Amino acid sequence: MGCVFSCLASTFIYAGEVLQQLCLAVGEISAVLVRALFGLVVVLCDVLAAVSCCWRVPWSERPDRSTYSYDTRLLADVGGQKVLSGAFTKQGREQRRQIKEARNKERELEAEQRAAKRKEEKEAKEKQKAAAKAEVADEKAAAKKEETATEATASATTTEAARA
């Protein structure tokens, strides 16, 4: 992030110089005001750059405002996580590929765990349904047994009453 703020400051420096030169044609006061305004913006960008990267990158290793060339590896080395090194270096691309593979493997493991959990829950529900069906069947069998027992006692009492 510090690199972003530093680049923003560079942009504002160039824009301020152009506007200052344009305002010199109008009047010296406007040129001074533009220079002061852009100076404040550049200082703010520098402060933000320092705050965002000073704990990770020493002052001597911070990006300067020179033009970018392929030989300067400042973009690849700025920051704790080396954000742009994944795009500009072979090791960065390899590391990014390994990280992507690890994430994919982690997602697969999580999917397998969710599938196993769903399967266990489904089996538990099926066991509960089977137990409920067995309980209902037992209750029906007990009710039928009682019914046949009461019919048998009723028929026995009617036969005894008929004999008497």
Two tokens, residue 109: 């493991």
Two tokens, residue 111: 């999917």
Q: Are 38 and 12 in contact (CB under 8 A)?
A: yes
Q: Are 21 and 40 in contact (CB under 8 A)?
A: no
Tens of pLDDT along 31-47?
778 778 878 888 787 77
Q: What pLDDT sits at residue 67?
A: 52
Tens of pLDDT along 46-76?
777 777 765 565 666 666 655 544 444 444 4
pTM of the model: 0.36
Tens of pLDDT along 96-152?
889 899 999 999 999 999 999 999 999 999 999 999 999 999 999 888 888 888 887
Q: Are 2 and 49 in contact (CB under 8 A)?
A: yes
Q: Is the pLDDT of residue 161 over 80?
A: no
**Regarding predicted confidence, which is higher, 84 or 120?**
120
Q: Are 74 and 37 in contact (CB under 8 A)?
A: no
Mean pLDDT, residues 6-25: 74
Where are the chain's structural domains? 2-85, 89-164
